[in-house]
């Protein structure tokens, strides 16, 4: 049970030559054995850089990389027990699928009989036995993807690295391959590190989700924790669609009032919240229209977006100019039969247990009420 973490990063930083700021800074994390570890973040946040540092294609300018407890920071990729699936597959065009898959084994002088056995098993796992004699240019995108996976699987490495492996596939195929990846991960029980742009992919596949921004690790934890208890304002806004509403409020004895408004409290505050300014995060589906005469956020409905199963109400607060950051609207997700006229007034309410709380100055989560924020 006390198996060492296959991948550990200790204070990893990377400043590319000639760059004026680091692409990665102070990233420390441990990837558990058998984890499906997803790295999510906006474009340019350093996801690929992080993966390439684990692979050994880039040297970190700070910190250490450990694979299976062994410091591999200075070792070349081939000396690390890893395999990588590239975004555009990088299959050797002049080799058949079988040769593509076995090239690494042949270079490592694995006995021929064993190569044949492993090739057969890998091809069976991926359902590509009938494709083995074909060259990549005769394969479809999904088939190439499978061959690329095969090339990684056949080596039985300690860790699989995947850099947006599904982004070149069309929507339908993405879904199929997503399920396939999940199945492979369960069947092989291997550790996978997976870079993606796609939240749905990350949420459904991962056992651990890491969010990166500006080269810094924002949060790492189980996907539902990251979703429900974002560690900071960035994660709160980044994860989930539409984004979490962030409200500038003041906690008082009788509840939460909009910041900058003299009015009385409009929302019930979570128990134990220290009085003073606080940023309150509420997911759109946690905002409910309140009955007439009850207290809540008074808003005017600007726009109703019908999504079939539910409606998005895009609203502006009434008499609370400081509540939202400039240019932002309040979004509520309500049942499909709730469709107020644009321009009409509405009162929205939310339960204290559905609120994520942030320190307005630092943007970090405030560990209050029941669930503790999952730190990085």
Partner 1 sequence: MLYPVVALLALLVAVPVIHVVVASLYRRNLFQVRPPRWVGLENYYYLVTSAKFEVAILRSMSFTVTALAVELALGIALAVWVHRMRRLPGMGLLRTVLAMPILVAPVVAAVMWRFMFQPDFGILNHFITGLGLPPVGWLSSPSIALLAIVLIDVWQWTPLVFLTVLAGLHAIPPQYFEAAELDAAGPWKQTLHVALPQVRRVIVIVALLRLIDLLRAFEIIVATTQGGPGDASYTFPVMIWETAFVAFEIGDAAAASVVLLVLVSVIVTLLVRAIARQGVVGRGQG
Ligand X SMILES: Nc1ncnc2c1ncn2[C@@H]1O[C@H](COP(=O)(O)OP(=O)(O)OP(=O)(O)O)[C@@H](O)[C@H]1O
What is the contact surface with partner 1 in residues (CB under 8 A)? 55, 57, 76-78, 82-84, 86-88, 90-95, 103-104, 107-108, 135-139, 144, 151
Instruction: Find the shortest distance in angstroms from Cβ 172 to partner 1.
Output: 21
Instruction: Find the shortest distance in angstroms from Cβ 209 to ligand X.
Output: 15
Which residue from 80, 87, 34 is spatially nearest to 54, judged by alpha carbons? 80
The partner in contact with residue 46, picked from ligand X, Mg ion, partner 1, none with C-beta cut-offs of 5 to 8 angstroms by kind, is ligand X
Instruction: Find the shortest distance in angstroms from Cβ 86 to partner 1.
Output: 5
The partner in contact with residue 312, picked from Mg ion, partner 1, ligand X, none with C-beta cut-offs of 5 to 8 angstroms by kind, is none
Which residue from 233, 245, 304, 295 is spatially nearest to 269, judged by alpha carbons? 295
Strands of 345-349's sheet in order across:
288-289, 345-349, 297-306, 310-317, 330-335
The C-alpha atoms of residue 37 and residue 184 are separated, in whole angstroms, by: 14
Specify the residue, 43 or 294, whose C-beta has the smaller distance to ligand X. 43
Specify the residue, 47 or 286, whose C-beta has the smaller distance to ligand X. 47
Q: Is 108 exposed, middle or buried (0-12, 13-18, 19+ CB in 10 A)?
A: exposed
Contact at 8 Å (CB) between 47 and 218?
Answer: no
Contact at 8 Å (CB) between 260 and 248?
Answer: yes
Instruction: Find the shortest distance in angstroms from Cβ 93 to partner 1.
Output: 5
Which of the ranges 36-44, 68-76, 177-185, 313-321 carries the binding residues for ligand X, by CB under 6 A? 36-44
Specify the residue, 190 or 331, whose C-beta has the smaller distance to partner 1. 190
The partner in contact with residue 107, picked from ligand X, Mg ion, partner 1, none with C-beta cut-offs of 5 to 8 angstroms by kind, is partner 1
Bridge partners (DSSP) listed for residue 232: 364
- List binders of Mg ion among 48-67 (CB under 5 A): 48
Structure tokens at 30: 């441990």
Specify the residue, 79 or 200, whose C-beta has the smaller distance to partner 1. 79
Specify the residue, 20 or 137, whose C-beta has the smaller distance to ligand X. 20
The partner in contact with residue 78, picked from partner 1, Mg ion, ligand X, none with C-beta cut-offs of 5 to 8 angstroms by kind, is partner 1
Is 232 a residue that touches ligand X (CB under 6 A)? no
Strands of 70-71's sheet in order across:
24-31, 7-14, 62-67, 70-71
- List binders of ligand X among 66-125 (CB under 6 A): none
Contact at 8 Å (CB) between 232 and 374?
Answer: no
Question: DSSP states of 309-354 as a string?
Answer: SEEEEEEEESS-TTSS-TT--EEEEEETT--PPTT-EEEEE--GGG
Is 49 a residue that touches ligand X (CB under 6 A)? yes
The partner in contact with residue 49, picked from ligand X, partner 1, Mg ion, none with C-beta cut-offs of 5 to 8 angstroms by kind, is ligand X
Contact at 8 Å (CB) between 280 and 267?
Answer: yes
Q: Which residues bind Mg ion (CB under 5 A)?
A: 48
Q: Which residues bind ligand X (CB under 6 A)?
A: 16, 19, 23, 41, 43-49, 197
């Amino acid at each position: 049970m006390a198996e060492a973490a296959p991948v550990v990063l200790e204070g990893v930083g990377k400043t590319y030559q000639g760059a004026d700021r680091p692409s990665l800074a102070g990233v420390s994390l441990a990837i558990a054995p058998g984890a499906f570890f997803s790295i999510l973040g906006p474009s340019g946040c350093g996801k690929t850089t992080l993966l390439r540092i684990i692979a050994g294609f880039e040297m970190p300018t700070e910190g250490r990389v450990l694979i299976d407890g062994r410091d591999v920071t200075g070792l070349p990729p081939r000396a690390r027990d890893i395999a990588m699936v590239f975004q555009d597959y990088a299959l050797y065009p002049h080799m058949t699928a079988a040769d593509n898959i076995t090239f690494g084994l042949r270079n490592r002088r694995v006995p021929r009989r064993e190569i044949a056995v492993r090739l057969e098993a890998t091809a069976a796992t991926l359902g590509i036995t009938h494709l083995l004699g074909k060259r990549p240019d005769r394969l479809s995108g999904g088939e190439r993807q499978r061959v690329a996976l095969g090339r990684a699987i056949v080596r039985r490495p300690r860790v699989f690295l995947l850099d947006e492996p599904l982004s070149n596939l069309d929507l339908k195929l993405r879904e199929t391959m997503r399920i396939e990846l999940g199945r492979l991960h369960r069947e092989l029980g291997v550790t996978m590190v997976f870079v993606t742009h796609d939240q749905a992919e990350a949420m459904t596949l991962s056992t651990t989700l890491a969010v990166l921004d500006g080269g810094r690790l924002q949060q790492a934890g189980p996907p539902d924790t990251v979703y429900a208890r974002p560690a900071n304002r960035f994660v709160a806004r980044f994860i989930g669609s539409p984004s979490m509403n962030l409200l500038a409020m003041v906690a008082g004895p009788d509840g939460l009032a909009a910041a900058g408004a003299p009015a009385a409290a409009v929302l019930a505050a979570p128990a134990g919240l220290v009085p003073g300014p606080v940023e309150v995060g509420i997911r759109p589906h946690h905002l409910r229209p309140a009955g007439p005469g009850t207290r809540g956020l008074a808003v005017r409905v600007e726009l109703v977006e019908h999504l079939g199963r539910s409606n998005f109400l895009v609203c502006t607060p009434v008499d609370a100019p400081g509540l939202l950051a400039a240019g932002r609207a309040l979004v509520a997700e309500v049942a499909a039969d709730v469709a107020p006229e644009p321009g009409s007034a509405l009162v929205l309410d939310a339960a204290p247990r559905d609120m994520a709380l942030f320190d307005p100055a630092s943007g970090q989560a405030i560990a209050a009420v029941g669930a503790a924020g999952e730190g990085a």
